[in-house]
Structure 1
């Protein structure tokens, strides 16, 4: 056993000796209940140790001991049975633990991997196969019957080494293998031959592959420790990073533990202790997560974090405070593992570009002396690597702790292990004098003025703890969990990710980025946006709600000490105060309505601020979560920007341009040969629709609508009445928007919107957004933007036919869809409850009904947990309360619905009373609070 002897492990073994004793000849099926009872009692004991705050490593090791004693007992019973029935064993045998079980670390849902090791030569093949069959029946079958997920292999030593040559995972498994029971000489011989093979083979190929795997793995988790829902095992700074550095250090230098690395003077004692404590914390966290789930999972999602924090004995009464305390400890542990691993890669020459023959650290230092070298302000630059000229470089001038990052950025350099080590120990030198220093401010601002190169520099500063020390207001955001459903990152990492996307804008990383870059370059100082983004969420240190207002108060002293002039301060503080406003406008309001853009332009004040806000909103959204931004949102954002920038022109110019645009569209469509559509129909279309329809509708869309209107009007010749006219439907996938767009042209009637929503609900699609407009001859043109529940265009081949069928039933036959929708809703609720491992974090629903004077509209805003038929029920109630929906904006993000409706009184001769609106709000609130 590689474990240190511990009273808990001895206790487990004593329990096994007492509880797993059977009379000779007792069949396996009669023994199984005793094994199950043993595991039940021991698991309960381990749970008590865990719950009282015992070491995560000790509990994980104890669980491995528990599995060991079960396998040992089954093994001895199997050997006894074979020898009773057949006499002497046909060969030696050893049962090995591999993988995490080989390390002696098991969490409740960890895989258990074992290997049955045999000699290379078997003299009697028939007896050997008989032996194998008995081992399967008497060892593997009981293990499966106990409910364990057992991975097993049968190998001889030659096969072990052959597999290790071609499969890196096999090599890892044997590196960490240990013998559970059986022939020690057989295991020792295998391990000796395996080590001999490793010594002959260069470790470089293995290490390169491990680094490639690590890079790919980190990429899946955005290359950051600071995800709001981190993966404990495979995430950046997770358990796998700790294990990976040991695998590489073992193969290259023979170090089997961090104590070995410490003894080799490659790691200080305090660093080794911090590493072991971090690993212990993650093991303990993983145990708690496994205990709270029926299935194996390593994702620490938002719903589980309060439960895990409570299970780990965090004492805070407030649930948010408890989660924040726990997650800060988690990020601290993960950061320790990640940083120490990265440092050791440099120190042990494990980087891919440093691999070669085994050299000592002293040899590496001597080799450095022969490279071209440049002295820069107390640092040595060689081979694109910065190192300290002396150990007092930061003590002599603490502002170098900021300047060194400008040099790193300027020369495209990396820091060597010595400089990294010295920087981490010199952080206390950043005191109030450095924070207020004009020289430090000049260096820091110069970092923010290198277009396309800012993100990586700031990330390095942050990971080393220097950014938060120099900018303490930003430091308060470190590891801050954002209790907002759409955020993927912690508050600090979100800010840095927004800066990454501004880098992409300046680098024109995509056609979309290039478009934003062109607009931003129109400002006198486009690089100012880096500073704006860095400070835009600084107010979250005082709470999420109202952080835009708090941010202005916190940012002002920072701008003063940075020496930012008054004009630029005014721009920066305006964007911080209003950084959520532009997205709010196009998410909530009808941006084709000139009142909307005129009101927004009045708020913004000038084109420079609008351009900053335009690009800021794009970077902010993309830095929130990878899937938050899409081409549809981008088009909405762009349309609002273009319509608002136009508002800064003279009113007469605006009107002239609009008339010219409409005239040009009219000419375009008249010049087209639209089959069956006369010029009179085209002219009528332009006469019967309001001006705003033509502002953001393309010629192709107008042509489609003309064809559909023509088709509807053609039906009148044979229809009994307009009420019996079948709706005209166009269903098509828009690959540019990555959505399905459905246009419906029909006779306008009361309750049309909710009936359309009901038919789409029964078709099983998600409504992302919608717009509707009516001609003055009562023909309604409704457009719906749809997605699969998982995102992207609708892939259900039957959805279109289902929608058309139900819509005709509702509009033409007058059939009520509510019974079918009720059934669908019940099934969805039952299915969700059955699949749910734990209750989701509740999203507080809200309903607001108000008059917006600037828009001259009555508006309903709804936020609620999304569910089947929510939109249908909201729209139906609005209709039943006597209101018509003139505009709807539907949005769903990560299970939360955010819907806006413009409503008008169904009786056009009267206006909505306050009592009517209050009654409507109460009814809507009742709908959104159902099932909470």
Structure 2
């Protein structure tokens, strides 16, 4: 603790003189004189902030600015206190004005609350209360936001500190600004005495539990791409926590004492100061941009702060991404320092020892227990090197340390982490080509119950990035878009976590197919390496092609045989192919299946790619994976497996013909299954209905879907209805199914799509068929904006949905899509989303595929569909895919029953679609400019 006031600056002395001149003989009771004095105080506060900002120098200066602002604020408060003292000297002599919390530590952000304690003498009377009241009003008049400003006696303060650990913490930085310093000295002495009597363990445990709760609220990972620079893991609060604990346990000179005792190095203190300076610099810019105390580093603010701090675009990395990478590297440093502090607390028995990654390993009776030979010991519940000098003699011992940690499911001692940091220069080409290092690495990757936890430690120690430089290039790398929720390296480690969870059988409900086939794969190591390396092409150009090259280089260096190197490289190159095919193409089209089967080539590769695709999507973040995507992947897998069964190849022309025959047989088998299930009550209808729909329908939908659809159409015919609509919540697909059976006509799809958009439904899939008898049989899958099935628990909404779609199918004019001003989210406005329209005649034998990409918004699909209808195109199907702020809408179209191959016919369609997409983007750009939001220079993407 400290109770000493900061020395009064020259500016402070000048301010006191100006106030004295303003008050003159009338003093504080004279309203005009008081207002003049307040004016000087407000000007001093504003000037102090301006001068604090002037301390910022590009990427640094934040810590100096925070301290300058605290000092300038002290001067203003001291001047106010002095002015009031002449008005009420009796009250002033019974009060001590103290700074507490972060402000008490001598650091202040531009829009932060000023944490104050008005400490009263136990004998204080009404004069003291009047003085404090005038002081509070004066602070308000100055425009200061005072947080936690309460008037208490020493006894009251001590009682509250005993009950509330946060109050106790804030008092660790107790500092006198003005008034009777003896009151603060007395409080400090009594707090210190009570802490000694109660012991330190309870306070330390309470503070660390408080930290856990804070991080849980802010997001446990320090790698979420929109962090709170104050409260997130690795933020300013963690730095403050270390300082508070040090002050509580050792006094104000804690860091100096720790360095002297060899518990922290000078480099550790330098890391602390660098991290604090960077985070304070960012915080100053944040407060300047928002005009408030919001500490969330949101997408809309990141580009502007990056620009202010001098981060410019590089060849393959935007300035905003370089800035955020610096942020996450800083958060890693803060995390490393936090581990060091916790280790000190454990060693001094002030904090419970860790239970490692999954369990606690006791030490031996005589102290540190030796593990796996003489190189490692269990020290204070964590694994450490028995002798750091061994690293110099054999650097591979660093990789073995993590193998031992994985084997025993134990955490690493911070001394071991520090030793590795000092020895990273030894990780050279010889180290990377050492087969012993590779064996230890693969033991960690493949045998650990939680490989992601051990590899995260390896990443934070700096070893994994040095051992596999391709992975090192993605450590702390961000992608400036709203799709990805974590840094690239954190996403990668979460991918491995999902893979291990599937291998353990923990995901059987959400991933039944993956759980079934994971034990059937023959190349487990290749799959794990592909998961580790699949995003190493990020920031290098074409992420899949570049990633494949880098993966091959890494695997060759790790000593894999040539065929396994090629397999890992292929998996990385193809890791987006299965999701793109499932979500953007008609997987009922035989050509889609055959083309995909040709890419995959074998059942083994199909299994590996399915697993890699699923875990990759799961690791993006909450809400990205859903039952709809899961079903699409399962359907694509099933159809492709039928083509590749028995080692069948589709590379040759004869093989392709055989593949088509297999798909036809699969469709015919589905028809026969339906007829068998309906045999007991209407076999004739089943046979007739089976011939009404093409093979594509029978390849897409499962047995339960086919039966339900058939019963719906049978009931419609029985009631002699021309138009029928059925609505059903499909929890398996996480969507609401809308079935439409109606006479086919132009604009049917666009009218229905417009109606669904008008009621707030988000279309995630549409299967469009025309029966041989000339009826449309359309299946829409829709969701709420939040991503769940539309209308769950809202029976009236489902009734309205059915009625509105029925009227639309009957030809009721659709209401135009809502345009004009819309509720623009600042976060989404930070991005530039390029608009593209591409035509493809090779993706389908029966139709031209149009892929339109642009900024996502409600109603976009219906507007694009209207353009196609206006052009006289017949819509055969639609697929909807999205990546945060970016939508990819795919349409299968015909013109007069044929593909749209003539460029003269394509150009007006392309222009009209681009007009819709660009108009939307232009609106967002204009609103962004109006709001002063900086925008990313280039496109967003995966």
| TM-score, normalization by structure 2 | 0.87
Residue among 797, 810, 830 paired with 1:840: 830
Aligned with residue 925 of structure 1, among 914, 918, 926: 914
**Per the alignment, do residues 917 and 265 of structure 1 end up closer, same or farther by CA in structure 2, a change over 3 Å counting?**
same
Distance 2:53 2:453 in 1: 43
1:602 is matched with 598
Shift of 1:557: 3.2
From 683, 686, 689, give the equivalent of 2:690: 686
Aligned to 1:361: none
Matched, 1:139 2:138: yes
Q: For residues 603 and 284 of structure 2, what CA distance do their matches in structure 1 show?
A: 55
Q: Structure 1 residues 707 and 132, CA, compared in 2 at 3 Å: closer, same or farther?
A: farther
1:237 matched residue in structure 2: 234
Aligned to 2:341: 344
Alpha-carbon distance in structure 2 between the residues aligned to 1:12 and 1:885: 75
Conservation of the 8 A alpha-carbon contact between 2:585 and 2:592:
yes
Determine if contact 2:848/2:900 at 8 Å carries over to the other structure: no
Q: Equivalents in 2 of 1:339, 1:304: separation in Å?
A: 27
Aligned-partner Cα distance in 2 for 1:841–1:277: 30
In the TM superposition, residue 336 of structure 1 has moved relative to its aligned partner by: 1.7
Question: Would you say 1:666 and 2:675 are equivalent positions?
Answer: yes
Cα root mean square deviation, aligned: 3.3
Matches of 2:457 and 2:751, distance apart in 1: 55
Where 2:55 maps in the other structure, the secondary structure is: helix
SS at 2:31's partner residue? Answer: coil
**Partner residue of 1:875?**
865
- Alignment deviations for residues 402-458 of structure 1 (CA, whole Å, 9 cap, x no partner): 222212212223333432332221111112211222222232223222163322222
Q: How many Å separate the matches in 1 of 2:78 and 2:364?
A: 53
Does the C-alpha gap of structure 1 residues 864 and 919 become closer, same or farther in structure 2, counting only changes over 3 Å? Answer: same
1:817 aligns with 2:815: yes
2:781 counterpart SS class? strand
Distance 2:780 2:254 in 1: 60
Question: CA contact under 8 A between 1:230 and 1:299: conserved in structure 2?
Answer: yes
User: Is the aligned partner of 1:58 residue 2:94?
Assistant: no
Query: Over residues 286-306 of structure 1, what are the superposed CA-to-partner deviations in whole Å (9 max), with x where a residue is unaligned?
Result: 111221223433232343322
1:684 positional shift: 3.4
Mean CA deviation greater in 312-321 or 550-559: 312-321
Are 1:26 and 2:22 an aligned pair? no
Taking the aligned partners of 1:353 and 1:556, their CA distance within structure 2 comes to 48
Q: Which has the higher contact order (CA 8 A, sep 6+)?
A: 2
1:759 corresponding residue in structure 2 = 755
Cα distance between partner residues in 2 of 1:17 and 1:51? 32
1:222 and 1:661 map into 2 onto residues whose CA distance is 47
Asked if residue 431 in structure 1 is aligned to residue 428 in structure 2, the reply is yes
SS at 1:694 equivalent: helix
Give the secondary structure class of the aligned counterpart of 1:918. helix
**Is the contact made by 2:433 and 2:557 (CA closer than 8 Å) also made in structure 1?**
yes
Give the Cα–Cα distance (whole angstroms) in 1 for the partners of residues 37 and 435 of structure 2: 78
Once the two structures are superposed, the pairs formed by residues 261-660 of structure 1 within 5 Å of their partners are 261-314=258-311, 320-349=317-346, 355=352, 369-370=366-367, 372-374=369-371, 376-381=373-378, 385-450=382-447, 452-511=449-508, 512-513=510-511, 515-540=513-538, 542-543=540-541, 546-649=542-645, 651=658, 655-660=664-669
Whole-angstrom CA distance in 1 between matches of 2:881 and 2:76: 54
Return the match for 2:709 from 687, 705, 727.
Answer: 705
**Preserved CA contact (<8 Å) 1:75 1:139:** no
Q: After superposition, where does 1:697-776 map in structure 2 within 5 Å?
A: 697-706=701-710, 708-710=712-714, 712-713=716-717, 716=720, 727-730=724-727, 732-776=728-772
Whole-Å Cα distance in 2 between the matches of residues 538 and 694 of structure 1? 39
**Matches of 2:458 and 2:265 in 1, distance apart?**
22
**For each residue in 1:581-629, what CA deviation from the matched residue of structure 2 results, as whole angstroms up to 9, or x when unmatched?**
0011011001122321122111110011111111011111222223321
1:675 aligned partner: none
Q: Tell me, in whole angstroms, the C-alpha distance in 2 between the residues paired with 1:2 and 1:463.
A: 38
Question: 1:880 Cα deviation (Å)?
Answer: 0.2
Show the counterpart of 1:14: 14
CA distance 1:745–1:106, change in 2 (3 Å)? farther
- Native 8 Å contact 2:670 2:703 kept in 1: no
CA distance in 2, matches of 1:19, 1:317: 52
Q: Quick one: structure 1 residues 381 and 43, their matched pair in 2 at CA, closer, same or farther if it must change by over 3 Å? A: closer
Q: Aligned partners of 2:327 and 2:426: how far apart in 1? A: 27
CA contact (8 A) 1:451 1:527 kept: no
Q: Distance in 2 between matches of 1:235 and 1:463?
A: 17
CA separation of 1:561 and 1:122: change in aligned 2, threshold 3 A: closer
1:106 pairs with one of 105, 108, 125: 108
Q: How far apart are residue 36 of structure 1 and its match?
A: 4.1
SS in 2 for 1:376: coil
CA distance in 1, matches of 2:544, 2:195: 58
Moved more, 202-211 or 15-24: 15-24
- Which of 853, 856, 881 is matched with 1:866 structurally? 856
Does structure 1 retain, via aligned residues, the 8 Å contact 2:594–2:640?
yes
Q: Name the CA distance, whole Å, in 1 between partners of 2:799 and 2:665.
A: 45
For 1:207 and 1:656, locate their aligned partners in 2 and report how far apart those are by CA, in whole Å.
69
Which sections of structure 1, spanning at least 5 residues, go unmatched? 357-364, 673-677
Mark the runs of 5 or more structure 2 residues left unpaired by the alignment: 354-361, 649-657, 926-942
Q: Is the partner of 1:67 in helix, strand or coil?
A: helix
Q: Deviation of residue 78 (structure 1)?
A: 4.3
Query: Which moved further from structure 2: 98-107 or 412-421?
Result: 412-421
Per the TM alignment, residue 929 of structure 1 is displaced from its structure 2 partner at its CA by 0.8
The equivalent of 1:362 in structure 2 is none
Tell me by how many angstroms 1:853 deviates.
5.0
Distance apart, 1:71 and its partner CA: 3.2
Paired residue for 1:893? 883
The alpha carbon displacement at 1:707 in A equals 5.1
For the residues of structure 2 that align with 1:518 and 1:305, how far apart are their CA atoms? 43
SS at match of 1:106: coil
How many Å separate the matches in 2 of 1:6 and 1:52? 29
Counterparts of 1:909 and 1:526, CA distance in 2: 46
Equivalent position of 2:777 in the other structure: 781
* Native 8 Å contact 1:207 1:350 kept in 2: no
Bigger Cα displacement from structure 2, 154-163 vs 21-30: 21-30
How far 1:50 sits from its partner (Å)? 2.2
- Work out the CA distance in 1 between the residues paired with 2:310 and 2:739: 55
- Do the aligned partners of residues 585 and 182 (structure 1) sit closer, same or farther apart at CA in structure 2, a change above 3 Å counting? same
SS in structure 1 at match of 2:892: strand
**Given the superposition, is the C-alpha separation of residues 608 and 118 from structure 1 closer, same or farther in structure 2, using an over 3 Å criterion?**
same
> In terms of mean alpha carbon deviation, does 17-26 or 765-774 score higher?
17-26
Residue 95 of structure 2 aligns with which residue?
Answer: 93
Contact 1:12 1:65 in 2 (8 A): no
Residue 882 of structure 1: CA displacement? 0.8
Where 1:299 maps in the other structure, the secondary structure is coil
Could you give the per-residue CA deviations for residues 515-540 of structure 1, whole angstroms, max 9, x where no partner exists?
Answer: 42331221223233111222222233
